[in-house]
Structure 1
């Protein structure tokens, strides 16, 4: 079975051909007696002596003479890189990852597809660079029957660095104790969930705030296909994974802490948490949007959750995604199958959007992401496969005649609907995206075209332009649904698809 490499896409300039190392010229000196003496006479034989020695040797040994090394401008053959949209796998071909471009790469299979997940903040510290790594995630299943579904917390530990190929010449990775040929350890704890889980989102935990004590809940919301949004406390599940012999209190986990019934029987996918900047559960707010174009707000008070009964209504079709502003406590954004992106203020009477981008995409707007560092930048991904970056300072207010803004950047690399998009948690120019074309792509808006390398990047052999901002293409999964950066392990990415999870970190980010 032949194999093709799925690897990093980046410009590489041709290195100069190596030239043979020249021998030093002979040096002669005047010894003061009127005669010249070779300074190397004792070390190097004369031409005549060499010639005579060669004749004697030829009489005794028939020695093969190698041809001289000649200069060449030919470059080594390029690797057989598979480029999506340009190449197609043959009947007997499979993709094989190029391990030299990964710092870490692991995969995990699951019993039932998990089409949504979120990364759980842990107490192991921020900015973790050492290996092996450990990660906690929460997810929900799409089982064969409604009663067989679960909310599951996974602990993935012993995530070692990737072993290099034998022919890898990277000396830095030789004898690397962190790159062990060992499988990760996967442990999990589950609770029952009625109905397939459309989306899961965990309570936000600010980076500057320590993880709350065990006695304080860690809330996760799940959008069920039954039309209900359940809020669960998953802290006992995390404790059961860390503390031997810990008994999970069913009264705290098997029954939701709260259920949002505002949507009736309408199914939904859009959901996002907001907080006041600390880990106090009484400061949480949860937005949920359904297929009937309605958005509801659920707030928390010291006495518990409170689902508001009046919806936000400006969309004319299914609400696909929601994002709270990272800098304005009362502002949020939404996107819809009506092709628009709307901006809202929860204080506005009438529950109508205050600004928006009509026809933001040519088709449904599936996902959005609000930049946490540069709060006027918003990403959107469409059903047509396009990715756009918007400057919200240019978005028109409702009631004005201003034209639609133009995106500050637009990319059409993906050949299928964009299923997930997310800014890097700390780098304001980097984002990740996933698509129904089985790709996870990493981008950096700060990268500019290098004129000297433009020939290498302008087009592939199939004529498809490779944007210089495209850092990396990760492949190998089928029907990818979501991708998230790990907020505590810089550069680590987790993705989920029909066949399970991938956890990886590349040399590009």
Structure 2
């Protein structure tokens, strides 16, 4: 990423992702000349110059008129690459976005910061590749006063491909010209009044967008200590159906409120995957308690007995993608614990007591390789765990070593999530203003390891770090879009970004 004095840019990447393209260009230049198949029919250099002694036909000394150009043996200067945590900006300098490493990049400002959001599944199809794209999200605000807060459904449409320079050759299909227009996106929204700031929002997982007879549930963890469940389907329909009359008496009232936590607020919350006969929602609070709420034919039912093994605030929860009765939790007590809802006494069945050096803020359970779990700590560490090695908690139990560990970030990890269709890739959001994309399948190339650095400081970059996206302040949450492959949505104190890179 280059640096220049200018106005601030939104959604700016590090050059980590684009440095490889610059390196490839240098390598091509050093490969040498192509062999000329018609060499015998081309006049020699000596014949072109005349008599070969440095004089032309008029007797003029060519070397006197045009002195020989000495070729420099010095290597071309390395690209000016900005590495977060290693380099700092000078006075008046800002990072400039390199749009050649993006397929799409848009930013969205909001009235109030949103600590949390989730992506809503739509009926526009899966595996969408064409542009312009459309995406729906649900978000919760952190307003300056409790009564100003809202649950908001956003529809982002006309998300065009990022325009590149005229020499760009990424799109070979002339029919895709309209896809490359870098026009302003369209933002529409509907909102629900919400008492108190919203710590976390989670949408009910659905295999397909519900039909007209089915509700679409969203849960919100409020700073008041209550968890509300809403049916947001009417709000989505009002965005999509011309002339739709929104029944506010229905849409603005939660279908259920969980009071199990008393006045203790919380952040941890997760819906079980669809495919079971009833809906199941886990919620964890700052007083170390976890509660389960299930649905019945007549409505929702909050179970009164909590799960209790943690000794400090429960920070995140994740249902197992393969075992419907198993879930994982992480806590400010530095542990990750595994639970089975069938266990008597509501105690954890296994765990990692010292998973991180400080609070374990977030976890994500791999939906494709179900024994892998990734965690992010308050110290900035990211660790991947093989749950087959996790033991039952007891006096003689030992913690397993992580299968991968990264200390790239120096600020708390605030969000982490596995890619929905690639089991080695995950995204992370950090308080150091970065969104990073990682691939555990990438290994250091031994042939390149001893060839020197392609740019200054490259040796400090883990080979598994695919991409660094910058430009937001205090990143809070990151999610992959399940229907638009490779697309990432992130929220921060200054708004939302939605982007897709050439790296994933």
TM-score (ref. length: structure 2): 0.89
Alignment check: 8 A CA contact 2:319 2:328 kept: yes
Listed one character per residue, the Cα deviations across residues 173-198 of structure 1 (whole Å, up to 9, x for unaligned) are 99843111211111101110000000
Alpha-carbon distance in 1 for matches of 2:107, 2:85: 24
Q: Shift of residue 458 of structure 1?
A: 7.9
Structure 1 residues 219, 457: CA separation in 2 closer, same or farther (over 3 Å shift)? farther
Matched, 1:200 2:201: yes
Q: Counterpart in 1 of 2:430?
A: 435
Alpha-carbon distance in 1 for matches of 2:250, 2:65: 83
Alignment check: 8 A CA contact 1:492 1:505 kept: yes
| 3-state secondary structure, aligned to 1:251 | helix
Q: Counterpart in 1 of 2:135?
A: 135
Greater mean alpha carbon deviation, residues 92-101 or residues 314-323: 92-101
Listed one character per residue, the Cα deviations across residues 95-120 of structure 1 (whole Å, up to 9, x for unaligned) are 11111111111100000001100000
Listed one character per residue, the Cα deviations across residues 43-62 of structure 1 (whole Å, up to 9, x for unaligned) are 99994994599435979xxx
Matched, 1:8 2:16: yes
Alignment check: 8 A CA contact 2:78 2:455 kept: no
Greater mean alpha carbon deviation, residues 470-479 or residues 269-278: 269-278
Alignment check: 8 A CA contact 1:458 1:467 kept: no
Alpha-carbon distance in 1 for matches of 2:48, 2:304: 105
Structure 1 residues 25, 470: CA separation in 2 closer, same or farther (over 3 Å shift)? closer
Alignment check: 8 A CA contact 1:460 1:466 kept: no
| 3-state secondary structure, aligned to 2:179 | coil
Matched, 1:148 2:148: yes
Alpha-carbon distance in 1 for matches of 2:380, 2:334: 13
Structure 1 residues 131, 364: CA separation in 2 closer, same or farther (over 3 Å shift)? same
Q: Counterpart in 1 of 2:243?
A: 245
| 3-state secondary structure, aligned to 1:204 | coil
Alpha-carbon distance in 2 for matches of 1:48, 1:455: 44
Q: Shift of residue 75 of structure 1?
A: 4.5
Matched, 1:454 2:449: yes
Q: Shift of residue 440 of structure 1?
A: 0.5
Q: Shift of residue 345 of structure 1?
A: 0.5
Alignment check: 8 A CA contact 2:13 2:468 kept: no
Structure 1 residues 97, 401: CA separation in 2 closer, same or farther (over 3 Å shift)? same
Q: Identify unmatched segments of 5+ residues in structure 2.
A: 7-11
| 3-state secondary structure, aligned to 1:239 | helix
Structure 1 residues 26, 229: CA separation in 2 closer, same or farther (over 3 Å shift)? closer
Matched, 1:498 2:484: no
Q: Note the 1:342-381 alignment, pairs <5 A.
A: 342-381=337-376
Equivalent of 2:402 in 389, 407, 418 = 407
Alpha-carbon distance in 1 for matches of 2:451, 2:290: 47
Alpha-carbon distance in 2 for matches of 1:26, 1:251: 84
Q: Counterpart in 2 of 1:96?
A: 96
Q: Shift of residue 276 of structure 1?
A: 4.5
Structure 1 residues 169, 82: CA separation in 2 closer, same or farther (over 3 Å shift)? farther
Q: Counterpart in 1 of 2:226?
A: 228
Alpha-carbon distance in 2 for matches of 1:188, 1:322: 29
Q: Shift of residue 319 of structure 1?
A: 0.3
Alpha-carbon distance in 1 for matches of 2:49, 2:231: 90
Q: Note the 1:181-330 alignment, pairs <5 A.
A: 181-206=182-207, 210-277=208-275, 283-330=278-325
- When the two chains are superposed, the root-mean-square deviation of aligned CA atoms in Å is 3.0
Structure 1 residues 458, 317: CA separation in 2 closer, same or farther (over 3 Å shift)? farther
Listed one character per residue, the Cα deviations across residues 195-218 of structure 1 (whole Å, up to 9, x for unaligned) are 000000000012xxx322122100
| 3-state secondary structure, aligned to 1:177 | helix
Listed one character per residue, the Cα deviations across residues 333-381 of structure 1 (whole Å, up to 9, x for unaligned) are 0000000001000011110000010010000000000000000001110
Alpha-carbon distance in 2 for matches of 1:490, 1:440: 17
Alpha-carbon distance in 2 for matches of 1:250, 1:296: 30
Q: Identify unmatched segments of 5+ residues in structure 1.
A: 28-39
Q: Counterpart in 1 of 2:463?
A: 468
Q: Counterpart in 2 of 1:17?
A: 30
Listed one character per residue, the Cα deviations across residues 303-322 of structure 1 (whole Å, up to 9, x for unaligned) are 10000011000000000000
Greater mean alpha carbon deviation, residues 330-339 or residues 162-171: 162-171
Greater mean alpha carbon deviation, residues 397-406 or residues 341-350: 397-406
Q: Shift of residue 80 of structure 1?
A: 1.6
| 3-state secondary structure, aligned to 1:288 | strand
Alpha-carbon distance in 2 for matches of 1:87, 1:26: 50
Alpha-carbon distance in 2 for matches of 1:48, 1:496: 65
| 3-state secondary structure, aligned to 1:187 | strand
Q: Shift of residue 79 of structure 1?
A: 2.4
Structure 1 residues 460, 368: CA separation in 2 closer, same or farther (over 3 Å shift)? farther
Greater mean alpha carbon deviation, residues 427-436 or residues 391-400: 391-400
State which structure, 1 or 2, has the greater radius of gyration over its C-alpha atoms: 1
Alpha-carbon distance in 1 for matches of 2:225, 2:46: 95
Alignment check: 8 A CA contact 2:79 2:455 kept: no
Alpha-carbon distance in 1 for matches of 2:264, 2:451: 50
